[in-house]
Structure formats: C-alpha cells, structure tokens
Amino acid sequence: MTTNKKLLIILDPAHGEETPGKRSPDGRHREYKWSRERLKVIEHLLQAHGYTVVWTSTSDREIGLTNRKNTGTKLTKQYSDLVPLFISLHNDASGVTPEWRQARGASVWTSKGRTTSDIFADFFIQRMTEWMPNINRRIYSPAYLDRDFENDFTVLMGDYSALLIECGFQDNKEDVALLEDSRFCNQVEDWIVDSIEDCNNYVLEKMTK
C-alpha cells in the first residue's frame, strides 16, 4: 500500500440474487448483479491507486444487514491503521409493486447526525454532475454537510464512516436504460473512485495539520 492512501475502502454489494423485488418491472435489470459488476471494477481501479479494499461479502447471496454491519466493524478493527470508509452501492425504487414509475435520479445517504460521513458524502455529491451529467441529483438540502438524506439504515450504523449510494431507479425506464449502458456504468465507476480520492485528500490534509 502506498503511504499516501489513508482510507480503508469497505465495499458492500446490494442485496442478493434471491432478494424479492430488487429488479426492473420487466425483470431485465437485476440490482444485485449491477452492483457487484460495478464494485469489482471499482476495486481494481482503487487497488491500482494504492488503496486497501475489502468486501462485506463476495457471495451473490444475501448475508443480512446485521452481518454486513458486523463484518464492516470487524474489518475496521483489523485495519486499525487506516480510516474506514464503508460504501454500499444500490439502485433505488419508488414502489414495491412491479410497474414502471416516474421517480429518477441518484442520492447519497448517511446515518443521522453530522459526522465525517457527511463530509465524505459531500465530496461524492459535488462530483456527481461532473461525472454523471445525464442523471438527476436527488439532494434533499442545499446546505453544506446536510445535502444527503439521513436515515437509520443498519449498514450505516457501524464503527466506520459510511455512505449508501442509490444510483438510478430500477423502476424507471429512462434510468434503467442508463444503468444498462456501458458508458454510464463507466461514469459511475469513475465517479466513485474520483470521490474517494477527494475523501483521501481530505483525510491527508487533516492528518498534516
């Protein structure tokens, strides 16, 4: 590992192949598969940049939210010399029934309260338009450190900084067309890697003060 990479990147793939409803209404797009494909590319790109990258699970099956959180916490302790950043990559959905809907866009979620996770989320949101100009940004507040929508997702509550990314709606035809486009997928991968670089630079700056 190169000495200027201070982040431990914990990759958390979306759901499992058997999880009900995590697909487009026509069944063509599968969230679990899309997430894992993107994260595998992101892993290789980050490793080429010198980052230490680990996964909550490399299985296509669902391991459960508590197991995801506990694995993230265990990895954080295992790599205690690095600053942990947990990234869970998903597709959004605006309904639970199998029909096409109108909601579109990408968002970044953190746990409640203002923490380092919010600072990291802001870097991701700032980079979103640059790397993905063809997707809507779903920002719930324009204020610095409060741009993300906060909730009690289990995986966000571990002993680490954590972001849950909802990239595109799997029940919107236009977003699914983007998610199935290789150029857009490359944009997503570059967006995440570039944003992580911003986060690492922030940590380096704080460590040298």
| Res 43: pLDDT | 98
Q: Which domains does the chain have, with CATH numbers?
A: 7-207 (3.40.630.40)
Distances from the Cα of 61 to the Cα of 30, 72, 103, 170, 177, angstroms? 13, 17, 28, 19, 25
pLDDT 10s digits, 170-190: 999 999 999 999 999 999 999
User: Looking at this protein, which amino acid is placed at residue 21?
Assistant: G
Q: Which tokens is 55 given? A: 């996964």
Q: Which residues contact 84 (CB under 8 A, 6 or more apart)?
A: 7, 8, 10, 72, 75, 76, 159, 160, 161
The pLDDT confidence band at residue 149, using thresholds 50, 70 and 90, is low
Mean pLDDT of 126-143: 86
Q: Burial letters for 74-102: b for 16+ Cβ neighbours within 10 Å, e otherwise?
A: ebbeeeeebbbbbbbbbbbbeeeeeeebe
Mean pLDDT of 113-128: 90
The C-alpha angle 2, 196, 117, rounded to 5 degrees, equals 120
pLDDT above 70 coverage of the chain, percent = 93
Cα 40 to chain centroid distance, Å, stands at 13
Between these two residues, 54 and 154, which has the higher pLDDT value? 54
Q: Is the whole-model pTM more than 0.75?
A: yes
pLDDT 10s digits, 51-95: 999 999 999 999 999 999 999 999 999 999 999 999 999 999 999
Please give the mean pLDDT across all residues of the chain.
92
DSSP conformation class of 157: G
